[in-house]
Structure formats: C-alpha cells, structure tokens
A and B are shown apart, each in its own frame.
Chain A
Amino acid sequence: MTMSWSRRIAGLVVAGGVLILLRAGSLTPLRTAPDGTAMLRLSWSARPERIEQCRRLSDAELAARPQHMRLRWECEGRFARYLLRVSVDGRVLAADTVRGGGLRSDRPMHVFREYAVIPGERRVTVSLRRIDAEVRPDSVADAATAAGTGAADRETREGQERRVRRAEALPALVRMDSTLTVAAQRVVLVTYSSIAHRFVIKRPAVLAFFTTEHTEETEGHDKSVGVKTAHHAKDCVALAGPPRSCTPLWPSGCSPCAPW
C-alpha cells in the first residue's frame, strides 16, 4: 500500500492530535475541593485508661503458682470508652463513643476525623471524656510494696509498670475550647500529646490561622493526688513560622513581624 503525501500529512496530524489528547488526559486539572473551604481535622493515637479490679494475692496463693506466673496483683478489667464531642460555634459535629482498637478494644485508640468548616473566626471545642466509671481505684496496687515478702522486687516492678501505663493513658477528661481564625484552603489539625496530656493545635507550614483565645482542661490525670487542673489562656499566638513577608491578614497587635 503506497501512501500519498496527503495521507502521510493526515497521518501526522492525527498522530499529533493523539499526542495532544494524551498529554491533556495526563495533566487534567481536577477539582478536588470547592474554593473557600477549610477543614478541622482530629488525629491522634492514645492508650485508653484501663479500668480494672485488682486483688493482692497472698503468699500462699503466690507460691501455688508456677514461677513465671507469680504476679502479686491479679487484675481483671477492660479499657475505658470515651465520649468524643466536637463542636464548632456551638454546633455539635460529633458526639461519638470511641474505644481502643482491636477486637478486644485493648489496642491504642486511634482517632481520625475530618469536618468541613467555613473559614473565618470559629470557636472550636473538642472534648474526650471517659464514659466508664472506675470500679475501684487501683492506686493501692500502684503504690503497693511487698515489704517483708520474698517477692519485693517483683512487686515493686509491677507497681512501676502499672504507674507507667497509667501515666501513658488518656485522662478522664481532655478538653479544648479555642477560638480560631481559620483561613480558606487550610486544615486545622487537632492532635493529642500523650506527654502533656492535652490537645495540641498543629501549626501549618504556612500562615493558616491563629488562636485568639484558647482554653484547655485536663481532669483526673494524676489520680494519686486526685486534682483537677484547668488552664486558661488568652494570648496572641502566631501559629506559623515567621512568614516571608508581612501580610495585612493579621489583626493589630498580633503582627508576625513583631518580635516573638
């Protein structure tokens, strides 16, 4: 089949058209979110508190057990459930029960939630409150010592381990009440610090929002002293690193150009 020049040119034009279509399909602008949206994102992992009933074994009971099973304190229980409540400007977005992962709910609790919010100044409240009541404070087990018994070291170690686990666990209440200015096309990330036992608002890489009023509340973390702590703050916190240039978005008195 001999090809005429007109067909060759037509073939080249068609091939060029196919290539253009290929490139267009390869780089199609895809709308993934409407303009002017913002998002509240909750994301954390934390170990729920263990609700358990402990009983101290007598020396005789302990001796009757195999060597590797001689724990002074025998505890039975489960991991607590929590009520996660999220509201923006008083409107409740979520009021759900959350629990630890796994079939037995004995794994860390993982939370990942996203809520679309309208950009602007918003009052965001996030709280995580324990639902299950303690059966019995096991601080006795925590503080126990085994003076005079042959298993003193073991019992001390048990107590320490228990205290460490308790220190890592979620408190009975973690609450954040914050008024934020949320910028469009930005995500406000609320996460939980298992060290500070409070919610933390993460700063975006670029100027996104700032806090005008921020209230935190943590309750019942240290049960051995049984105190309720509350922290109130009203400050002007720049949540971004120093911007490359000053923008007029900042209200007076909160200029990021001022020394931090």
Chain B
Amino acid sequence: MRPLRAADAAATRLYGWRHNPLHQTGTVAAALLGLLIVTGLYLLVFYRVGAPWQSVQRLQADPWLGRWIRSLHRFASDALVVAVVLHAWRLFAQARAWGPRALAWTSGVVLLTVLFISGWTGYVMVWDNFGAQLAVSGARLFDAVPVLSEPVRRIFAGDQAVPSVFFFLNLFLHVALPLAAAAGLWIHLSRLARPALLPPRPLLYAICGALTLLAIVWPSPLAPEAALLSISSQVPADLFYAFWLPWADALPPWLAWTGALVTFGIAFAMPWFTHRPRTAEWTPSVVDERSCTGCNQCPQDCPWEAITMVPREHAHGAQSAFVARVDPAHCVSCGVCAGSCAPMGVGPADRTGRDQLARLRAFIERSDTLARRPVAICCEHAAPAHVAPLMEHGAEVRLVPCAGNLHTSVIELSLRAGAPGVMVYTCAPRDCRGREGPKWLHERVYNDREAELQARVDRARVATAVMAPGDWAGTLAAWTQFSAQLAALSESATVPLDEQLGAICEPVPLEEEAR
C-alpha cells in the first residue's frame, strides 16, 4: 500500500488528481483496447496469411500510415499490459480483490491471460524471427502436453514452408480473442452499477497522442523474416509479452508448465487467500425495515447494485408496500447507502446516519472544540498525511470511511452545534473506494439529491474539496479559501438552532414505535 500511495502522490504532483493516470488504470486499459481494435482493423486489411512477413513488410514500407499504425498497435498493446498490471496491483493493495469483488478479480485474471494469448498470436502473425521464436517455444511447451500425437514443432522443422492454415488459425485467434475479451469485460464489470469505460478526455487524448507521437518519431522496426533452418543468437523481443521466453527455453517443459499453472492458480485464487471476516469495516449493510420508507433512493445510489426493493412482508399502517433489501454477497460495505437514506434506515453496522449523529452528539457533549473551530470532515482513505497539517491550520478534523457515507444531517448538526463552517474533503473522484462517494456527496449538498442537505443550511458555511496525496497545496488552498470565506461571514448568519432538529435527525425511539 505504501509504494502505491507514494506513486499516487508523485503522479498527482505531476498531472494533478483529475488526470492522474494511476487513478484510472482500468479506464485507461479499456481505452487502449479500443485503440488496439481501431489500429488492428486497419492492419487487418493488408495482412496476408499466404505471405505474412511480406505483407507486414509492405506495411512497414509505407511511411505515411502503415509504419506508424503498426508501431502504434504494438506500443498500445504494451501499454495495455502495463495498465492492466497496475490496475491489478492497485486493487490488490487497496484490499479490493476479495468478497463481492472476487468476480471482478478472477475475470480480470482470465482477461489478462486472454490478452497475453492474443498478443502472442499477434507477434506470431508477423512471422519475423521473434514471432518464430515465440511459436517454436510455445510449440515446445504444447508438445509436452499429451494431446496431439504429432509434435506441433514439426510445423516449424524447416523441411517445408509453414502452411497458410497455421497463419489463418493464428489470425482467427488474434481477432476472436479480443471479442471474447469484450464478453469477459462485461462479466468483469457486471457488478458495477455505472461503470466508467473511458478516462477523462484530456487524459485519453494525452495517452493516445503520446503513443502516436512515439510511433511516428521512433517506430518499431521490422525484424528479419523467420528462417527456420537458422539459429538467431538474439531476437528483438517484446518483454511485456515474452517475459517467459528465457525461462521457458531454459526449463524443462513440465517445470515451465507447472510454473505457469501455479502462477495462474495463485493469481486466480487471490480473493480466497486475502478473504477477510465480514466484520467491523467489512460488515455488509443492513436495512431497518421499520425506518425504510420505500423511497427507492438507496438502490439508485448503490454503486454495486447490491440493494433491491422487494415487497414488504408485513406492511401495516402507513408503511410502504416495498422495502429495501441488501444482498450481502454484493455489498462491499462502502456505506454510500447510509448517506442516501433520509430516515437513516440503512447502512453498515455502526456507520448508518443514526450512528454518525450519535457519535457527533457524544463528541459535542464532551468537547466544546466544535463550537470554536471550523470542521473538516475527511475521507479516511483520501490522504491521511494531510490530516495532521490540517489540524495545525485550525481545523477540527473528523474522519469518515467514505464521503458518500456521510449523512448530510451531520453537516447540519455540526453547524447547529456552533461550528463556523464545515468543509468535507473527499478522495479524488476516480480513486474512491466507494466508487461514487464524491459524486453523491456533491449531489446531496448542492443539487437536492436525497438525502439532501436541508435548504435552511447556509451553503456559504459548507464546502467540499478533494484531498489527494501529493496535492497538499490543493488541500491547503481549499482550506485557506474556506477559512477566509467564513471570516467574511458575520456571526449572525449562523443557522439558528432549530427546535425541530430532533424530529428531523433523531431516530424514532424504538420503544415509542413499539407502543
């Protein structure tokens, strides 16, 4: 986690949190896949299975389009591997690879495998000495599996030309596997309510532009045609795809297979190795059916489609006909539902709106600091290193697991308790562990989304900002500006204590309801 946070901070310093590529490795990977498909379609038009290397050579000889599109295809495929590996590392380090996210992880491992196979077929298609080396080494491994009686390596013995049908099969796989990957991508994202597929446009254009520039300025050369009766002492290898080549050639096939299968097995089974008990911060949300009004807001806000509305079993009185129900198998315990529920009837244990209010009340009772200092409510995952300096700048810091989990009544109660203002610091929107915390918070504070911050609350005393590692200047600037804004406001503008607050924010005592 520490190296990831350091890398995040460095990338934020360089590119800002809006365009930090490490925050959106998944969408960058999807964008690169799109780029590969577009460039691949162009290359496909010129490829000939009867003369593979010669057709690529003709492409390479075209300085206007062919050469750089081929290079762009190659570099984009390498960047895709980097993006996918970073994506996996990020999710693993952030403990987002188990439980309800296990399907995304395991399908991601399969997708990465498909990507590698697709890449290998792509290099073999060219049939230069690197492609031939990949094919021969792959055939050597394949021959160790007792499936075919005739060794596959006989195709590459050199006594006759490699048949066109081999290149046709290769081409078919190279085209079909990305289609399979598209289906796999659907499974990969199936548990997300509103998956983001592309990075922000500036970042998208920057990545595509940079790769295109590299392809034009420094294109990939075409290696000599494969000569099966010659031994190349070295080949220009793509290590992103052929990292296994030195080992596979040095090890006995059974050992290479064992290594590959064990690696795949460990990667695939990672969610089971890293599984944690569903308690404390990992406990799934529960619905208090007595409080649920059937408003259908929490299913809309849940980023994981873990909540559905079902008919209430024993409706009586004014209770709604439908009630929310959480599927624990899908719930990642982000707590976004707690922030969406006006009557505070849903959320993970100890993180519902009622729990948040109760904790704040207890704090108000034992301390008067809230009445003297502006409050900074910070997402605890955003930038822990910024908390202490923020306190030194006069903030009364309170942490929440996710900005989306914060119930707006907490903001109101803080102001009613005398706080001059409340600043909510969220994580970078594309780096939110609850996926949509900053978005929903903004909607609830400024755009009347349920459970909205009441209109009676003076918006001049409320602000939201992003707190990202590596951007202390941004955190401090937002705080300084907010403090100046508060100083400009007169004390008389403070929201008057509303006697109805208890009725709005307090849960109905259970005994009372029972009567």
Q: A-side interface residues toward B, CB under 8 Å?
A: 1, 3, 7, 10-11, 14-15, 19, 22-23, 25-35, 37-39, 41, 43, 45, 101-102, 107-108, 110, 112, 185-187, 189, 191, 202, 204-206, 208
In angstroms, Cα B474 to Cα A185, docked, is: 61
Q: Which residues of A contact B214 (CB under 8 A)?
A: 19, 22-23
In angstroms, Cα B325 to Cα A158, docked, is: 77
- Of B236, B240, B245, the residue contacting A29 (CB under 8 A) is B236
Known: A19-B214, A26-B238, A30-B237. A110 touches B229 (CB 8 A): no
Q: Which residues of A contact B245 (CB under 8 A)?
A: 30, 32
Known: A3-B16, A23-B214, A202-B229. A28 touches B150 (CB 8 A): no
Does B232 contact A28, Cβ atoms closer than 8 Å?
no
Does B235 contact A1, Cβ atoms closer than 8 Å?
no
The verdict on B14 contacting chain A, using a C-beta distance below 8 Å, is yes
In angstroms, Cα B10 to Cα A10, docked, is: 11
- Of A7, A37, A108, A204, the residue contacting B229 (CB under 8 A) is A204
Q: Which residues of B contact A31 (CB under 8 A)?
A: 233-234
Known: A26-B74, A101-B149. A191 touches B240 (CB 8 A): no
What residue in chain A is nearest B137 (Cβ atoms)?
A32
11 chain-A/chain-B pairs, Cβ below 8 angstroms: A1-B18, A3-B16, A25-B78, A26-B78, A28-B238, A30-B130, A30-B235, A43-B158, A108-B150, A110-B154, A191-B159
In angstroms, Cα B210 to Cα A216, docked, is: 62
Most buried by A among B15, B133, B473, B474: B15
What residue in chain B is nearest A24 (Cβ atoms)?
B239
Does A189 contact B158, Cβ atoms closer than 8 Å?
yes
**How close is B6's CB to chain A, nearest CB, in angstroms?**
14
Known: A19-B214, A22-B82, A23-B75. A202 touches B235 (CB 8 A): no
The verdict on B481 contacting chain A, using a C-beta distance below 8 Å, is no
Further contacts, 20 of them, CB under 8 A, given A25-B238, A33-B233, A189-B158:
A1-B18, A10-B14, A23-B214, A25-B239, A26-B240, A27-B220, A27-B237, A28-B236, A29-B237, A30-B242, A30-B245, A32-B232, A32-B233, A45-B150, A45-B154, A186-B229, A202-B158, A204-B230, A205-B227, A205-B230
Q: B-side interface residues toward A, CB under 8 Å?
A: 13-18, 74-75, 78-79, 82, 130, 133, 143, 149-151, 153-154, 157-159, 206, 210-211, 213-214, 218, 220-221, 227-240, 242, 245-246, 249, 471, 473-474
In angstroms, Cα B158 to Cα A204, docked, is: 8
Q: Which residues of A contact B75 (CB under 8 A)?
A: 22-23, 26
**How close is B86's CB to chain A, nearest CB, in angstroms?**
12
Most buried by A among B75, B130, B149: B149
Q: Which residues of A contact B133 (CB under 8 A)?
A: 30, 32
Does A32 contact B238, Cβ atoms closer than 8 Å?
no
Does A187 contact B230, Cβ atoms closer than 8 Å?
yes
Q: Which residues of A contact B220 (CB under 8 A)?
A: 23, 26-27
Does B235 contact A185, Cβ atoms closer than 8 Å?
no
Q: Which residues of A contact B229 (CB under 8 A)?
A: 186-187, 189, 202, 204-205, 208
Does B14 contact A11, Cβ atoms closer than 8 Å?
yes
In angstroms, Cα B463 to Cα A153, docked, is: 101
Does A25 contact B158, Cβ atoms closer than 8 Å?
no
Q: Which residues of B contact A107 (CB under 8 A)?
A: 149
Task: Sort A-B residue pairs by CB-CB distance and give the 10 closest, nearest first.
Answer: A101-B149, A43-B157, A30-B237, A204-B229, A11-B14, A112-B151, A1-B16, A110-B150, A1-B474, A187-B229
Q: Which residues of A contact B82 (CB under 8 A)?
A: 22
Q: Which residues of B contact A191 (CB under 8 A)?
A: 157, 159
